[in-house]
Chain A
Amino acid sequence: MDTSKVTEIKTSFTEQITDVADEKQLNDVRVTFLGKKGHVNGLMKEMKNLSPEDKPVWGNEVNALRNYILETIESIGTKLNEEKLNRQLAEETLDVTLPGRTVSVGSPHPLSRIVEEIEDFFIGLGYEVAEGYEVETDYYNFELLNLPKSHPARDMQDSFYINDELLLRTHTSPVQARVMKSKDGKGPVKIICPGKVYRRDSDDATHSHQFTQIEGLVVDKNVRMSDLKGTLESFAKEVFGDAHDIRLRPSYFPFTEPSVEVDISCFKCNGDGCNICKGSGWIEILGAGMVHPNVLEMCGFDSNEYSGFAFGMGPDRIAMLKYGIEDIRHFYTNDLRFISQFKQTEDGGHVDASL
């Protein structure tokens, strides 16, 4: 038995396999040696010419060769695959510093942001959000709010009248009057009323004929002025930050008695005095007071049994103070360079309370 043929084929395989550079060549080699008509099968066919005692020996030799070739091809195949993958990865490398595909993000209007934030705070305190007409009757806008026709604050020049009885509301207070009237004299009333309001002003940096207002109203048995103070104190801390205090100063509004102006410690200097607060350390942000008994009575509540507080503020002014916006007209010009500055989230300085 001559096994030199086996050795020859092995040598031939070793020669051919070293030249293999890609999968196709590897496959060619595989077919040449292991295919149906390949060299290894050729060797097997020679078995029939051998003596019975040589057959197993030959078979072992050829099988050893087959296994050797198989293993070699497999390991080279693996290596080739790895190389190919590495090449692919190298080719696919990106400049990750180029900008990503633009996914446009729009901005809420800064006034909407402020209004929502305030709404959410009061919802947390059990208030509902009430909305009303922007074109109101004189009765709801003024008379029910203790501003009879002869009242000095009621100059036709100051409001946008449509006719003697209709006007663009000058505050959101008529919403409060309407809600109170709808309650049949029974409390509690807990509402926050945001909305657009109108005054007959010429537009300039600090005046706008249309602006935004939020008013709040609570009416129930035994509502006290200290409740107003506590409510506004927690409001100030929520919306402006825990470091902020409020103070009440006596003031006058026809629809509240007692009436107060509410100052908050300055956003910028927090009380030390700066140009924003004109050195006083305080900024006026709210008007408030206990609902005038005339208003309660006119809106169907017994003013001996029921009492209430009301407050009002201007989101335009709050936004201007908070962000240092210099011109109120920006809110209504809708310049994208302005609006898009109010896209981001903000931190209120409230640290996560969970463990």
Chain B
Amino acid sequence: MLVSKEWLKTFIDVDADTKTLAEKITRGGIEVDDIIDYTDSIKSLVVGYVESVQKHPEADKLSVCQVNVGEHTQQIICGAPNVRQDSYVVVVLPGGRLPGGVKIKKAKLRGEESHGMICSLDELGIHSDYVPQEFSDGIFIFQNEQIPGDDALEALLLDDQVLEFDLTPNRKDALSMIGAAYEVRALFGGEVNEPEVKIDRKADGSITPVTVSNEDLEASPFYAAQSVENVTIGPSPYWMQIRLIKSGIRPINNVVDISNYVLLEYGQPLHMFDRDKIGSDTITTRYARDGEVMTTLDEKERKLQPTDIVVTNGTEPIALAGVMGGNFSEVSDATTNVIIESAVFNKVSVRKTSNRLNVRSEASSRFEKGVSHVFVLKALNRAAYLLQEYAGGTVVGDVISDGALDLEDSEIVISTEFINNRLGMDLSDEDVKESLNRLGLGVTDEGETLKIAIPSRRDDLTIKEDIIEEVARIYGYDNLKSTLPEYSKITPGRLTDSQKKTRVIRRQLNAIGFNETINYALTSDKESRQFTHRTQALGLLMPMSEERKVLRNSLVPHLLKNVTYNLNRQQKNVVLYEIGRVFEFIDAQSQPNEIDMLAGVMTGVVGQTEWLGNGTPADFYYAKGVVESVFDKLGLTEHVTYKQEELYDELHPGRTAAIYLDENFIGYIGEVHPKYAQDHDLNRTVVFEITLRDVLNIQTRTIAYEILPKYPSITRDIALVVDVEVTAHTLDEIIRKSAKKYLVDVFVFDVYEGEHVEAGKKSVAIRLKYLNREETLTDEQVEAVHTPILAALEENGALLRS
């Protein structure tokens, strides 16, 4: 909503400067997004009287004009085709300025002196979209006699600033000049003047009066029409045109302009029909029939639906209610008799229709928010009056209407105490009454409570809390104290165990060089089936692209895309992780299982020190070390086992470890399949993905402290030759199972294949650590435990090397 200050002042006397006005309105809850200052960078603009116009001797398209600019007459060369003798125009004098950094100097044009310039509206900073047709190719010419030498900005009503209101959806009351005036009254005081209406109504005209009816009161609860005869189509008065222009509407002709002008005055959209083209003597509103077709005034054929409301001539639509007129009933240059429509239409229907047809207008945007009943007839009469005054029309007969307006004030009962309790303020009854009075709300003191009467122009106020807001915003939020809540019960602020552990994992991964990423949850069909055993993904009803169509099943595909992206930007070593959700499809109707996952990717070298030329390759074992460090940090090492498995097509079948937490599969570590890597411009890359939810669900409780051993431990090394397929885990299991006591640690410290070892075999060296916490172990005691272990290994096919 664009609010001209000059126009606003005709509604309410406000003398604040524009900046203060804007600031206070903004703080009051209507954000003034911008101030358009029409005086900006304009200097030395006066009214000129063109005394004579002669052809330029040297140039066909130029005219040599003698222009009276007040104290004297001077020669100005003008290139506009519409310059004419005996007209009042706008002149910038030499030394003057126009928007866009234009400076005017005395000049010679093809040998003829020019003292200034005669201006077009464009040159004054008015967007060409809003310049009336009449002046679109030339200079502006005043409609009426002016005084040469006068300040032209004033004469143009452009000594003005326009405030651009950014209205929140609840403030439809301010979608009009009168609404803006009421808001200014609430903030600055004063009284609101309503526009003049003095209708000289004739009882009978030359044409049959129309009858009006609403088939469905839900579609149109109220419809009113006024007949105005014998109008003459022509330009509207300048003040009306310029106010429309400042409001962002292009003037067309007096009838159309009056309709728009009154819409801006009251926020009530009107429609003007050519009476003689309606095609009947009745106007009926109803919901459209399914499949009904009409052509709107933009000559587009519209297929209607039963949620659309149409205004009909009894048989066929003459307007799409609240949205757009029909093509055959609209006002044209030949129109002489007019029917003005002022109505209330179902706001949801209007919104649906304008959304579906993608037609948004000043009218539809007001209807869809709901119009104020109190202005429906006022606007109708005002428009009739303006047609009488500025289109030479005769207002014939009374307003014809069907349905009823709801003009009763609504009521809200509230107490000052309630307001104070909710706001944390100490307002008196008087403070509250004062604020509400300024808003134009009626207040009746009923002892303990206040009864507030809400006029229909503020039908957005429906509950007590709305009144609290009105009081607060008029009283000012700056006057609100700053306090902290006084709770009814003390409860500690804290993270849950899972949230804490998630933070620990983040810190841990950051500390060992992993960079955190956040990727999109939406992905393509194809990616939703990679690195997962799930074959289905939950999809969107209306995806915006193939790439963002379904919810992800794994974090890995996007992480690998991140790797490719970074490799393509000269990053050789890429180490990333993400903690995020995947969405397990249950069925198309149900919320999916949302599962928190942890995934990481690594490629290149970790800890590369260039001048030393070393670093650790980011390989399978590095990734495994990372995963182990996370489990170590979480105290889960004992619960976790790794098994070689062929999980997904995208992983190297020989280099993938499935991770089990106790007996449950919770994820994997693996090298990306060379084929996948090649297809995605990746080097050797390792990934891991773990179901974080399962990991976090295990409660590790507090740390179980163990007293430090007082006695030394004893180690024994074993060298074995086994089949290459035998895993370290298998050997570990055999050893641990056959150890009766004292064994506290087992680890492989060497693995060798090749020379001196038979083909298909490998040599494995294992260190066992024995400890008795009660006393020093003797060799005999160790042997008693160690010998059965060796035997068990041999039983399982291992060959002991001496």
Chain A residues near B (Cβ < 8 Å):
98-109, 111-112, 116, 119, 122-129, 131, 133-137, 150, 152-153, 155-157, 160-163, 165-166, 168, 187-188, 190, 196, 198, 200, 202, 209-210, 212, 218, 220-227, 229-231, 233-234, 247-252, 257-260, 290, 292-293, 307, 331-337, 339-340
A236 vs B518: C-alpha distance in the bound complex, in angstroms?
A: 26
B410 on the interface (CB 8 Å rule)? no
A-B contact count (CB 8 A): 260
CB-defined interface of B561-604 with A at 8 Å, one 1/0 digit per residue?
01001100101001111001101000011111010000000000
Complex contact A162–B480 (CB within 8 A): no
Residues of A near B170 (CB, < 8 A) are 252
- Which residues of B are at the interface with A, using a C-beta cutoff of 8 A? 26-29, 31, 168-171, 348, 351, 355, 368-369, 421-425, 463-466, 468-469, 472-473, 477-478, 480-496, 499, 503, 506, 509-522, 538-544, 548, 551, 562, 565-566, 569, 571, 574-577, 580-581, 583, 588-592, 594, 606-612, 615
- Which B residues are in CB contact (< 8 Å) with A126? 487, 490-493
> What's the Cα separation between A249 and B171 when bound, in Å?
14
A104 touches B481 (CB 8 A): no
A127, closest chain B residue (CB): B493
Chain A proximity of B680: nearest CB distance (Å): 15
Complex-state Cα separation, A333 to B611, whole angstroms: 31
Q: Is the CB of A250 within 8 A of B480?
A: no
Can you give 28 contacting A-B residue pairs, CB < 8 Å? Answer: A102-B607, A102-B609, A103-B513, A104-B606, A107-B510, A107-B515, A107-B516, A124-B493, A128-B494, A134-B594, A152-B351, A152-B369, A157-B542, A162-B539, A162-B541, A163-B589, A187-B489, A196-B581, A209-B520, A210-B522, A224-B422, A224-B424, A225-B480, A230-B481, A247-B27, A249-B477, A333-B565, A336-B566
Residue ID in chain B nearest A123 by CB atoms:
B493
Contact B571 A293 (CB under 8 A): no
B-chain residues with CB within 8 Å of residue A220 when the two chains form the complex: 485, 487-488
Residues of B within 8 A of A290 (CB): 422, 465, 468
Report the separation of the CA atoms of residues A122 and B491 in the bound assembly, to the nearest whole angstrom: 13
Complex Cα spacing A108 to B505, Å: 11
Q: A135-B583, A188-B485, A210-B522 are in contact. List 12 more A-B contacts (CB 8 A).
A: A106-B509, A107-B515, A123-B494, A125-B484, A156-B542, A161-B542, A162-B539, A163-B588, A222-B421, A226-B482, A229-B480, A332-B518
Q: Are A339 and B609 in contact (CB under 8 A)?
A: no
CB distance from A206 to the nearest CB of B (A): 16
Residue pair A125, B493 in contact (C-beta under 8 Å): yes
CA of A166 to CA of B480 in the docked complex: distance in angstroms?
40
Q: In the complex, what residues of A have CB within 8 A of residue B485's CB?
A: 188, 218, 220, 223-224, 227, 231
The reply to whether B591 and A133 contact each other, CB–CB distance below 8 Å, is yes
Residues from chain B with Cβ under 8 Å of A153 in the complex:
169
Tell me which residues across on chain A come within 8 A of B491, comparing CB atoms. Answer: 126, 128, 188, 190
Contact between chains at B168 and A104 (CB < 8 Å): no
Q: Is the CB of B463 within 8 A of A257?
A: yes
Measured between beta carbons, the chain B residues less than 8 angstroms from A119 are: 495
- Cβ of B539: which chain A residues have Cβ within 8 Å of it? 162
Q: Is the CB of A209 within 8 A of B423?
A: no
Inter-chain contacts of A259 with B (CB < 8 A): 469
Say yes or no: A101-B472 contact (C-beta < 8 A), given A126-B492, A209-B544: no
Whole-angstrom CA separation of A341 from B365 in the bound complex: 46
Residues from chain A with Cβ under 8 Å of B368 in the complex = 152
The one of B27, B477, B481, B515 in contact with A106, judged by C-beta atoms closer than 8 angstroms, is B515
Question: Does the CB pair A250–B29 fall under 8 Å?
Answer: yes
Select one of B355, B422, B484, B569 contacting A230, CB under 8 A: B484
Whether A196 contacts B473 by the Cβ 8 Å rule is: no
B residues within 8 A CB of A212?
518
Give the residues in chain A near B580, CB-CB below 8 Å: 196
Contacting pair B489 A188 (CB below 8 A): yes
B486, A222: Cβ atoms under 8 Å?
A: yes
Expressed in whole angstroms, the minimum distance between the Cβ of B122 and any Cβ of chain A is 27
Of the listed residues A100, A126, A127, the one surrounded by the most CB atoms of chain B closer than 10 A to its CB is: A126
A187-B488 in contact (CB<8A) = yes
Instruction: Tell me if B493 and A135 are in contact (CB < 8 A).
Output: no
Main DSSP-derived SS at the A contact region: mixed
Contacts of B490 in A (CB 8 A): 126
B29 touches A340 (CB 8 A): no
Decide: A109 and B478 in contact? CB cutoff 8 A.
no
Residues of the B chain whose Cβ atoms lie less than 8 Å from the Cβ of A221: 488
Residues of chain B within 8 A (CB-CB) of A136 are 591
Indicate whether A248 sits within 8 Å of B480 (C-beta atoms), given known contacts A106-B512, A112-B506, A218-B485: yes
What CA separation (Å) do A106 and B601 show in the bound complex? Answer: 13
Separation in Å of the B683 CB from the closest CB of chain A?
15
Docked pose: A115 CA to B141 CA in angstroms: 61
Q: What 10 pairs between A and B have smallest CB-CB spacing?
A: A226-B424, A104-B513, A250-B29, A224-B424, A258-B469, A252-B168, A230-B482, A248-B477, A250-B473, A257-B465
Closest CB in chain A relative to B100 CB, distance in Å = 21
Kindly state the separation between the CA atoms of A300 and B226 in the bound complex, as whole angstroms. 51
Q: Are B477 and A260 touching (Cβ within 8 A)? A: yes
Bound Cα distance A150, B355 (Å): 13
CA distance A346 to B800 in the complex (A): 59
Q: Chain B residues near A252: list those with CB within 8 A.
A: 168-171
In the complex, the answer to whether B607 meets A209 with C-beta atoms within 8 Å is: no
Contact A103 B28 (CB under 8 A): no
Partner of B469, one of A116, A155, A257: A257
Contact A102 B515 (CB under 8 A): no
Bound Cα distance from A183 to B480, whole angstroms = 30
Return the contact of B465 from the options A100, A101, A209, A258 (Cβ within 8 A).
A258
Closest to B514 in A: A106
A residues near B26, Cβ cutoff 8 Å: 249
Min C-beta distance of B245 to chain A, whole Å: 26
CA distance A289 to B608 in the complex (A): 52
In Å, the complex CA distance between A112 and B507 comes to 11
Which residue of the partner chain B has the closest CB to A149?
Answer: B348
**Cβ of A164 to closest chain B Cβ, rounded Å:** 8
Residues of B within 8 A of A125 (CB): 484, 493
> In the bound complex, what is the Cα–Cα distance between A248 and B543 (angstroms)?
38
Contact B569 A337 (CB under 8 A): yes
Please state if A196 and B521 are interface contacts (CB–CB under 8 Å).
yes
Contacts of B464 in A (CB 8 A): 293
Chain B residues with CB below 8 A from A131, complex form: 499
B482 shortest CB reach to chain A, Å? 4
- Please pick, from B348, B473, B484, the residue contacting A258 in the complex, using a CB distance under 8 A: B473
Chain A nearest CB, measured from B771 CB (Å): 33
Cα separation A116 to B348 with both chains bound (whole Å) = 42
User: How distant is the Cα of A250 from the Cα of B520 in the complex, in angstroms?
Assistant: 34
- Shortest CB distance A286–B (Å): 13
Distance of A6 Cα from B538 Cα, bound (Å): 106
CA distance A155 to B543 in the complex (A): 15
Complex Cα spacing A258 to B31, Å = 16
B520: nearest chain-A partner, CB-CB = A210
Decide yes or no: A129 and B538 within 8 Å by CB, A106-B514, A163-B588, A335-B565 being known contacts: no
Nearest-Cβ distance from residue A318 to partner chain B, whole angstroms: 15
Of the candidates B465, B486, B521, which one forms a contact with A293 in the assembled complex, judged by CB atoms under 8 Å apart? B465
Closest to B464 in A: A293
Q: A193–B680 Cα gap in the complex (Å)? A: 37
Q: Which residues of A contact B543 (CB under 8 A)?
A: 160
Known contacts: A200-B542, A252-B168. The answer to whether A293 contacts B477 by CB under 8 A is no
A319 to chain B, nearest CB (A): 12
Within the complex, the shortest CB–CB distance from B597 to chain A, in Å, comes to: 13
A293, B469: Cα distance in complex, Å: 13
**Chain A residue contacts of B465, Cβ below 8 A:** 257-258, 290, 292-293
Instruction: List chain B residues, Cβ under 8 A from A156.
Output: 541-542
- Residue from A210, A257, A340 whose CB has the most chain B CB atoms within 10 Å: A257
CB A12 to nearest CB in B, in angstroms, measures 53
Q: Please, which residues of chain B bring their CB within 8 A of the CB of A102?
A: 607-609, 615
Decide if B540 touches A161 in the complex (CB within 8 Å): yes
Collect the chain B residues with CB atoms within 8 Å of residue A165's CB.
589
For B516, the chain A residues whose CB sits under 8 A away are 106-109, 112, 339
